Chains A and B, each alone.
Chain A
Amino acid sequence: NAGVMQNPRHLVRRRGQEARLRCSPMKGHSHVYWYRQLPEEGLKFMVYLQKENIIDESGMPKERFSAEFPKEGPSILRIQQVVRGDSAAYFCASSHSGTSGTEQFFGPGTRLTVL
């Protein structure tokens, strides 16, 4: 039973380019969460999605960032016109439901470096 998969594991972009991060949830999970971890910081919530719906995007920066979880395929976190401050580890988590006591399982993360 494969866990949460994220790719690429490492991504290097120059300022102004676009970054696309992919997340495939665990089998049977339809809830996906994206978190960002800046150096020496904890993980910070960005967005919560179910299939084809954004449920909570309160942690997403207002500009340049978007997320989707289509009916088929992985969830995508897209960062347009990247800047150096976007360099971070981006973690995806999935769960089988969205209730408070449900465990979120994390992927290995994508480490984004912006040159």
Chain B
Amino acid sequence: DQQVKQNSPSLSVQEGRISILNCDYTNSMFDYFLWYKKYPAEGPTFLISISSIKDKNEDGRFTVFLNKSAKHLSLHIVPSQPGDSAVYFCAARGNRDDKIIFGKGTRLHILP
């Protein structure tokens, strides 16, 4: 039962353009959402997060948008850079919950 869904296994974006990665969730008890970036042979690295009481959080080139009514969030990267090529995991936690629930990931390719 996939509680966090990333329906696009891969995405290719031209360098300098905007990358938009999407994520849907089913559990309305989630109250904290995270994006992780992962390079091959490394562990996931925290990128950005958003609390359920907000609808937007921005950090440099990275912005996360949350639409609670649609149970949807997205990560925007602008401008996209070659070093952004990686697998991006959407993840969620419930209030007072210890575990993080991960999606299956989206592999982002930044094209020169």
A100 to B100, CA, bound (A): 9
Contact flag A100-B32 (CB < 8 Å), given A33-B99, A58-B99? yes
**Of the candidates A55, A99, A104, A107, which one forms a contact with B100 in the assembled complex, judged by CB atoms under 8 Å apart?**
A104
Would B46 and A42 count as touching, CB distance under 8 A? Answer: no
Count contacts on B: residues with CB < 8 A to the other chain: 27
Stretch of B65-73, B77-85, B101-109 that contacts chain A: B101-109
A40–B104 CB distance below 8 A: yes
Q: Which of B12-20, B55-63, B87-95 contacts A (4 or more CB under 8 A)?
A: B87-95
B99, A42: Cβ atoms closer than 8 Å: no
Contact partner of A101 (CB less than 8 A), chosen from B41, B51, B98, is B51
A91's closest neighbor in chain B, by CB? B43
How many chain A residues sit at the interface, stated as a range, is 20 to 34
Query: How many Cβ-Cβ contacts under 8 Å join chain A to chain B?
Result: 63
B102 interface neighbour in A44, A58, A98, A109, Cβ under 8 Å: A44
The residues of B that contact A8 with a CB separation of less than 8 Å are none
Residue in B closest to A48 when the chains form the complex, CB atoms? B98
Interface centre among A33, A42, A104 (most CB of B within 10 A): A42
Q: In the complex, what distance in Å separates the CA atom of A106 from the CA atom of B37?
A: 11
Whether A108 is near chain B, meaning CB under 8 Å from some CB there, is yes
- Whether, in the assembled complex, A79 has its beta carbon less than 8 Å from a beta carbon of chain B, the answer is no
Report the separation of the CA atoms of residues A66 and B31 in the bound assembly, to the nearest whole angstrom.
Answer: 30
Q: Is the CB of A55 within 8 A of B99?
A: no
A33 to B43, CA, bound (A): 13
Given A45-B100, A100-B97, 8 other A-B contacts at CB below 8 A? A33-B100, A100-B31, A100-B93, A100-B96, A101-B49, A101-B51, A106-B36, A106-B44
